[in-house]
Amino acid sequence: MEVLNCKGAVLSNCEVYALLQDLCRQEKGRKSMMKTQADLANIAFETMKYLEKTACRNQNAEVIQGFLQAVKEFKLTKAEKLQLINLRPTTPVEMQLIIEDSEERLSEEQVEELIGLVELHLPDIDNPQTLVNGTPGK
Amino acid sequence: MFQLAEIRHMVRIPPWLFGQTLNDAVVEELNRKLANKVVLNVGLCIALFDVTSLGDSYIFPGDGASHTRVTFRYVVFRPFMEEILEGTIKSADADGLQVSLGFYEDVYIRRDAMMTNSHFDETDGTWVWDYQTDDETHHLFMDIGEKVRFKVIAEQFTDTTPSAPGMTEGDGAVADRKEGKIPYIVFVSIVFMIVKKYMKR
For residues B161 and B95, state if they share a domain. yes
Residues in chain A closer than 8 A to B69 (CB atoms): none
For residues B119 and B68, state if they share a domain. no
Contact A39 B32 (CB under 8 A): yes
- Name which of A7, A20, A79 is nearest B47 (Cβ-Cβ): A20
pLDDT over 70 at B175, yes or no? no
If we measure between CA atoms, which residue out of B123, B116, B141, B134 comes closest to residue B196? B141
Closest approach of A64 to chain B, Cα-based (Å)? 17
What CATH number did the domain enclosing B92 receive?
2.40.50.140
Interface of B with A (CB under 8 A): 1-10, 28, 31-32, 35-37, 39, 41-43, 45-47, 49, 71, 73, 75-78, 80, 82-84, 86, 101-103, 149, 151, 191-192
Answer with the residue of higher pLDDT: A8 or B33: B33
| Domain region containing B21 | 2-77
Please tell me the total count of domains within chain B.
2
For residues B69 and B105, state if they share a domain. no
What are the tens digits of pLDDT across the range B110-167?
Answer: 888 887 788 888 888 888 888 777 778 877 788 888 888 888 888 888 887 776 666 5
The parts of chain A modelled with pLDDT lower than 70 are 28-36, 126-138
Gap between the Cα atoms of B189 and B155, Å rounded: 12
If pLDDT is split at 50, 70 and 90, which confidence band does B8 have?
A: very high
For residues B120 and B148, state if they share a domain. yes
pLDDT over 70 at B176, yes or no? no
For residues B117 and B27, state if they share a domain. no
Residues B39 and B45 sit within 8 Å (Cβ to Cβ): yes
Beta bridge partners of B184: B157
Helix (H) or strand (E) holding B66: strand B66-77
For residues B71 and B88, state if they share a domain. no
Helix (H) or strand (E) holding B90: strand B84-93
Gap between the Cα atoms of A59 and A121, Å rounded: 10
Instruction: Sort residue B43 into left (φ over 0), alpha (ψ -120 to 50) or beta.
Output: left
Closest approach of A62 to chain B, Cα-based (Å)? 20
For residues B162 and B184, state if they share a domain. yes
For residues B61 and B103, state if they share a domain. no
Three-state DSSP class for B29?
helix
Residues A55 and A27 sit within 8 Å (Cβ to Cβ): no
